[in-house]
Amino acid sequence: MPEPTAHVDTFARDNLPPRDEWPVMTFDLPELKFPERLNAAVELLDRNVAAGNGTRPCLWFGGKAWSYADLLDRANRIANVLVRDLGLKPGNRVLLRAANNPMMVACWFAVLKAGCIAVATMPLLRARELGYILDKARIDLSLCDARLIDELVAAGARDLVAFNSDASDSLDARMARQPATFANCDTYAHDMALIAFTSGTTGPAKGTMHFHRDVMAICDCFPRYILRPGPDDIFCGSPPLAFTFGLGGLVTFPMRFGASTALAEKASPDLLPRIIQDNRATIVFTAPTAYRAMRDTAPRSAFATLRQGVSAGEHLPPPIFQAWHDFTGIKLIDGLGATEMLHIFVTSAGDETRPGATGKAIPGYQAKIVDDAGRDLPDGEIGRLAVRGPTGCRYLADPERQRKYVQHGWNLTGDAFKRDRDGYFWYQARTDDMIVSAGYNISGPEVETVLLEHPLVRECAVVGAPDSERGMIVKAFVVLRDPRDARPETVKAMQDFVKAEIAPYKYPRAIEFIDALPRTETGKVQRYKLRTGAAT
């Protein structure tokens, strides 16, 4: 007998992998004993206001504060627009597109309150990437910042409402006509709350599916036991809210503990120190490359109010850890997470930190090292990292990938690690072709697909190349149709071509022209030769 659901539209539930292909879920902590009925938006927002936190600041933006009551007012009005005005039903998918601003947060809460499923997208995505998400998730409605609407229109979005706009048909105008109260959808804990898309390792992005209880589970593991925030903490950081790293670190974690967040639409390493200083932020979330850049360019006084720094998106090298500690006195928290798992599951903090080690499995999670057959490996041996806990990998309509990354009840992260005898996990390398550059996960095959559309390219292969600033960069090896086109202006033209087709951070920062790609006898490109220089 199927589980009960509050969703009228069962598309998401119908496209979950079979139950016997899910990882084993564990709910060992007392905080993880969730009731049958649960709505994450209600838990994080409505209950804060009901507990007396309505007048407390929730979001800082542009020098002004939205209180918890302000956010609830906006979220309720938007939810009324979704249900009363636009006729959405529980289970419908709503695409969200904006930079990190309060209206983006209000829209996310409104979608969950209405019982719909949030599908947040990064502002840098281009039309072809957005079009894939629109189709894969069968999007019913798109809510988009008016400044970013062009790419979404080009992607073919049909039911589209703009916000942060003065237009008469904008979401802003529509919500002004709605009441500030809303009858929240009484969702089940296992009803879908969001579909988060990965960057993909072997092609287009993959949709990962997460329940309302998953949203609450990540709030009651890493922040509660490792970060330990209080209501007077002010969070800030660089990750987009469409990344689950940003969703947790900048929205759900602070709100779980009655704290606030300083949002910024642009939080590059040259701007982040000013954001921290101006807002007197105490906790920052960003990538290792940003910590290195801030250490080198910003005054120490900019970080006077900070007490914690969380690093994720790529491995934290020991020199960056030590340089930041010497500069600020703060021991960075190196977090390992995944979109499939929703947030961080291996880390350490404070005196438990060992520079160079990612850390231990956090309370609520278990982790181990296995070989290719799934057998446990002893401490000190390099193998595949396997993890399980209250969240887990469930891909949207992708059985092949589900079977690859969930085996024997464990989630396989795609990372090679070793564990020491004290239980610390030490990162070794990626076990797939993912390129991790400045905290961004970039799919080499996706970049190859775009480059192959350039008229001068005969064939190409894309790999990650070491870089002192970004950790890795995207490097393309290109076989030209006419070798005489191997000129610097051709490199620039190809880089611009990629930037125009997909998110700019994915473009190849290095392009090398070669006569032929190294291949096996069966025709497969030998990328390891490109990485090591053996083919050139």
Q: What is the CATH number of the domain that holds 457?
A: 3.30.300.30
pLDDT at residue number 209: 98
The amino acid that residue 75 corresponds to is A
pLDDT at residue number 373: 94
State which of 219, 234, 258 marks the end of a domain.
Answer: 219
Tens-digit pLDDT profile for residues 357-405: 999 999 999 999 999 999 999 999 989 999 999 999 999 999 999 999 9
The answer to whether position 72 is within a domain reads: yes
Quote the CA–CA distance of 164 and 172 in Å, as a whole number: 7
The answer to whether position 1 is within a domain reads: no
Residue 536 has pLDDT above 60, yes or no: no
Q: Phi and psi dihedrals of 238, rounded to 5?
A: -105, -20
When comparing pLDDT for 490 and 445, which is higher?
490
Percent pLDDT > 70 in the chain is 96
Rg (CA), the chain: 23
Residue pointed to by tokens 């101006």: 278
Lowest-pLDDT choice from 38-42, 256-260, 529-533: 529-533
Tens-digit pLDDT profile for residues 103-161: 999 999 999 999 999 999 999 899 999 999 999 999 999 999 999 999 999 999 989 99
Tens-digit pLDDT profile for residues 178-203: 999 999 999 999 999 999 998 643 45
pLDDT classification of 534: cutoffs 50, 70, 90:
low
Residue 63 has pLDDT above 50, yes or no: yes
State which of 175, 196, 219 marks the end of a domain.
Answer: 219
The amino acid that residue 111 corresponds to is V
CB atoms within 10 A of CB 370: 17
Quote the CA–CA distance of 380 and 417 in Å, as a whole number: 9
Q: What integer is the mean pLDDT of 304-317?
A: 90
pLDDT at residue number 499: 96
What's the mean pLDDT when you consider all of the chain?
A: 93
**Sheet holding 510-513: strands in order across?**
457-467, 471-480, 510-513
Print the domain residue range for 107.
Answer: 37-219
Instruction: Specify the pairing of strand 117-121 against strand 457-467.
Output: unpaired
Residue pointed to by tokens 């977090």: 335
The answer to whether position 526 is within a domain reads: yes
Burial state string for 443-463 with b = 16 or more CB within 10 A and e = fewer than 16: bbebbbbbbeebebbebbbbb
Residue pointed to by tokens 């002192």: 468
Quote the CA–CA distance of 339 and 201 in Å, as a whole number: 13
- Structural domains of the chain, count: 2
Quote the CA–CA distance of 294 and 296 in Å, as a whole number: 5
The answer to whether position 476 is within a domain reads: yes
The answer to whether position 299 is within a domain reads: no
Quote the CA–CA distance of 329 and 351 in Å, as a whole number: 12
Helices and strands (H, E) in the chain, number of each type: 19, 26
pLDDT classification of 33: cutoffs 50, 70, 90:
very high
The answer to whether position 271 is within a domain reads: no
Quote the CA–CA distance of 140 and 221 in Å, as a whole number: 33
pLDDT at residue number 198: 84
Q: What integer is the mean pLDDT of 75-79?
A: 99
Q: What integer is the mean pLDDT of 58-68?
A: 97
Quote the CA–CA distance of 3 and 13 in Å, as a whole number: 10
Q: What integer is the mean pLDDT of 453-472?
A: 91
State the sign of the Cα–Cα–Cα–Cα dihedral 289, 291, 295, 301: positive
- Which CATH number is 100's domain given? 3.40.50.12780
The model carries a pTM of 0.88
The answer to whether position 387 is within a domain reads: no
State which of 188, 219, 250 marks the end of a domain.
Answer: 219
Residue 468 has pLDDT above 90, yes or no: no
The answer to whether position 175 is within a domain reads: yes
Report whether 254 contacts 260 (CB < 8 A): yes
